[in-house]
């Protein structure tokens, strides 16, 4: 008779260590979820807690199986889980969207935005988990390499069969195209990241074919064209074009619950905006991702996904507005006093045709609000650099992207606070004081610019609404937005993206252009310049039934007169959404072809040899 099995002391200790490791993950999870719920009002839905905890336990078990000791596992898992959980909660509470796979590729840009202790914290948030993970792994143990091999197999299967995995997870965990916060809440963070990684990999399909491009163009041709402003055709554009993109520029007086002590906007700006019919730009983003606004206003195509198109979608040299005007003799200059590489602008600006790019290293940082150069200093230095070029032999495309006005809305000693807000609305007060100075510095610059270049075409607008407090706080108290995107009414989607827009047509003065989706701006500017050459910027300016379509990630809304119709891609959508959805899909096909595909949309692209190209010699012919 065999003696009963008695586990060895080593096996017993190992079993206790496994129990301690999983118990540690459980305790960490409960503390972390309590913290982000209390401080940032972010949490999974009640039905998702069990699956989210199981996912964390599985990751913890995998990590402990690779670890050299319980102590190092506890440090590494704490760093890894905390960085992901806190980063996701901060993005959700600030921008209203959860962490997505593309955010990891764009993370380096956040380092360029921060300074001081926030920068140190961000670096530690990324570096600490990576270093601790590398150190905790027992590299010399055979079981470790078996575990790493299984992990590599899982990654390989994910990359080979992403579509199958994405569809299976969608069936099991659900998926909302237009409501990413709800996706996170119903899944939990690890499952959400795995599901969206599989979806992102599954989207990497072959570029559109000639046939697909032709079909997309037919959809747009059949949609009709809405010319916003009728102008006489000139032989070749020759007036200067000034485009001023204003960081987080918006009207704080809409925040009625904050009870601001004074109107932050310069009265002169108010009068000018009234002359422009209180027109608005409809931005593709809220609270950040300025580069997506830049892409739309420079290339004339909408951004429809929750990523930075300069980083992920702009792969080919394309005749956007800077190159198109450059071929008519313009000197296209971009000015932005941030790090040159932020949002991949060095490569993006080159690919769309800017001849000159002035970034932070090209400006004297002489009037700083923490890390943000004041608009006053930026305007002064740009005017000094332009100088005699304003009436020189080459017309200018002067693209100016401001930096002052960014969260957390700091002011220096030259700009003391002058506006107060209700108790508990301190962030709104900080933003209102920023707008007080930003609007006055803008108007001083406009007076100088219009005097120096009276015939210049000037367009200025806010890039997006400001991010204030977590979960659309600052807006919810005034009834402008709901706390969750899933609770937005149709008018709230319009409020989410509406910023002031002023277009000054030389000595004709301000023009009323209504509420204009950002991607429709370049076609309008070319019309006002009298530039009737074929241009890709005019392709997407056509919209169904003479209405205006504003695509957003996972949804779009259609403007008709004063009303808007939101299409969410659900069974509850109005029947009319079918036509606008077909238009959005066609535009996406052409955008992919032009900016990362084979460019079948362009029959021929001729770079200028020397001198100016006459408008009668088009540089771009569109396939029809």
Across 76-80, 268-272, 346-350, 419-423, least confident range:
346-350
Let me know: does 299 contact 522? Beta carbons within 8 Å: yes
**DSSP conformation class of 536:** G
Whole-model pTM: value is 0.77
Dihedral angle over CA of 557, 559, 564, 569, nearest 10? -20
pLDDT of residue 534: 84
Tokens of 215: 């079909």
Q: What is the CA radius of gyration of the chain?
A: 27
Let me know: does 615 contact 235? Beta carbons within 8 Å: yes
Name the nearest CA neighbour of 335 among 247, 396, 398: 398
Q: State yes or no: pLDDT of 184 exceeds 60.
A: yes
pLDDT tens digit sequence for 84-115: 999 889 888 776 678 878 777 666 666 665 66
Q: How confident is the model at residue 604 (pLDDT cuts 50, 70, 90)?
A: very low
pLDDT of residue 232: 44
pLDDT of residue 2: 56
pLDDT of residue 224: 46
Name the nearest CA neighbour of 228 among 490, 559, 581, 506: 559
The span from the CA of 152 to the CA of 141, in Å, is 17
| Superfamily (CATH) of domain 210-566+575-622 | Alkaline Phosphatase, subunit A (3.40.720.10)
pLDDT tens digit sequence for 111-132: 665 667 777 777 888 888 889 9
Q: State yes or no: pLDDT of 544 exceeds 60.
A: no
* Higher per-residue pLDDT: 618 or 320: 320
CA–CA–CA angle 440, 443, 447 (5° rounding): 145
Average pLDDT over residues 274-292: 93
Let me know: does 281 contact 516? Beta carbons within 8 Å: yes
Q: State yes or no: pLDDT of 223 exceeds 80.
A: no
Per-domain boundaries in the chain: 9-202, 210-566+575-622
Name the nearest CA neighbour of 378 among 245, 196, 576, 490: 245
Order of strands, sheet of 563-567, starting from the edge strand that comes earlier in the sequence: 548-552, 555-560, 563-567
Average pLDDT over residues 321-338: 94
> Residue 331: in which H helix or E strand, if any?
strand 331-335
């Amino acid at each position: 008779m065999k003696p009963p099995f008695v586990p060895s002391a080593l096996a017993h200790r190992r079993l206790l260590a496994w129990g301690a490791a999983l118990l540690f993950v459980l305790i960490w999870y409960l503390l972390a979820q309590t913290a982000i719920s209390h401080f940032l009002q972010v949490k999974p839905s009640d039905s998702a807690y069990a699956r989210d905890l199981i996912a964390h336990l599985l990751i913890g078990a995998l990590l402990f199986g690779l670890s050299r000791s319980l102590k190092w596992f506890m440090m590494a898992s704490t760093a890894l889980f905390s960085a992901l959980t806190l980063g996701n909660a901060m993005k959700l509470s600030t921008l209203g969207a959860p962490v997505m796979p593309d955010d990891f590729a764009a993370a380096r840009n956040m380092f360029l935005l921060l300074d001081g202790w926030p920068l140190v914290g961000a670096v530690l948030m990324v570096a600490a988990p990576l270093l601790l993970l590398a150190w905790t792994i027992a590299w010399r143990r055979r079981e470790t390499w078996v575990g790493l091999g299984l992990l590599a197999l899982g990654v390989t299967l994910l990359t080979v069969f992403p579509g199958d995995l994405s569809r299976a997870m969608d069936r099991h965990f659900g998926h909302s195209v237009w409501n990413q916060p709800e996706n996170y809440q119903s899944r939990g963070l690890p499952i959400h990241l795995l599901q969206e990684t599989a979806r992102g990999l599954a989207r990497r399909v072959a570029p559109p074919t000639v046939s697909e491009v032709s079909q997309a163009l037919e959809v747009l041709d059949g949609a009709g064209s809405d010319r916003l402003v009728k102008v006489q055709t000139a032989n070749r554009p020759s007036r200067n074009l000034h485009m001023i993109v204003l960081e987080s520029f918006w009207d704080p007086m809409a925040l009625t619950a904050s009870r601001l002590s004074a109107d932050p906007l310069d009265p002169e700006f108010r009068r000018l905006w009234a002359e422009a019919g209180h027109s608005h730009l409809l931005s593709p983003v809220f609270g950040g991702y300025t580069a997506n606004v830049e892409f739309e206003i420079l290339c004339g195509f909408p951004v429809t996904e929750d990523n930075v198109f300069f980083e992920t979608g702009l792969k080919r040299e394309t005749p956007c507005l800077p190159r198109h005007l450059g071929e008519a003799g313009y000197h296209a200059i971009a000015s932005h006093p941030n790090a040159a590489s932020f949002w991949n602008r060095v490569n993006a600006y080159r690919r769309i045709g800017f001849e000159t790019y002035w970034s932070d290293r090209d400006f004297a940082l002489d009037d700083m609000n923490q890390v943000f150069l004041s608009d006053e200093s930026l305007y002064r230095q740009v005017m000094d650099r332009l100088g005699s070029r304003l009436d020189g032999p080459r017309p200018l495309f002067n693209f100016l992207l401001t930096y002052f006005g960014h969260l957390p809305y700091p002011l220096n000693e030259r700009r003391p606070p002058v506006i107060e807000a209700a108790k508990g609305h301190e962030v709104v007060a900080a933003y209102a004081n920023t707008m007080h100075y930003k609007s006055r510095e803008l108007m001083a610059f406009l007076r100088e610019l219009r005097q120096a270049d009276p015939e210049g075409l000037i367009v200025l607008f806010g890039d997006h609404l400001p991010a204030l407090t977590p979960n659309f706080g600052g807006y919810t108290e005034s009834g402008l937005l709901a706390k969750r995107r899933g609770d937005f009414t149709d008018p709230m989607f319009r409020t989410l993206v509406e910023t002031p827009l002023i277009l000054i047509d030389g000595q004709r003065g301000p023009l009323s252009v209504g509420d204009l989706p950002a991607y429709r701006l370049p076609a309008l500017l070319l019309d006002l310049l009298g530039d009737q050459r074929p241009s890709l910027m005019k392709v997407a300016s056509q919209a169904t039934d003479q209405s205006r379509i504003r695509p957003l990630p996972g949804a779009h809304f259609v403007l008709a007169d004063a009303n808007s119709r939101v299409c969410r891609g659900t069974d509850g959508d109005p029947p009319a959404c079918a036509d606008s959805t077909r238009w959005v899909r066609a535009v996406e096909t052409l955008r992919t072809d032009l900016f990362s595909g084979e460019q079948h949309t362009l029959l021929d692209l001729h770079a200028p040899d020397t001198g100016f190209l006459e408008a009668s010699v088009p540089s771009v012919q569109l396939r029809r």
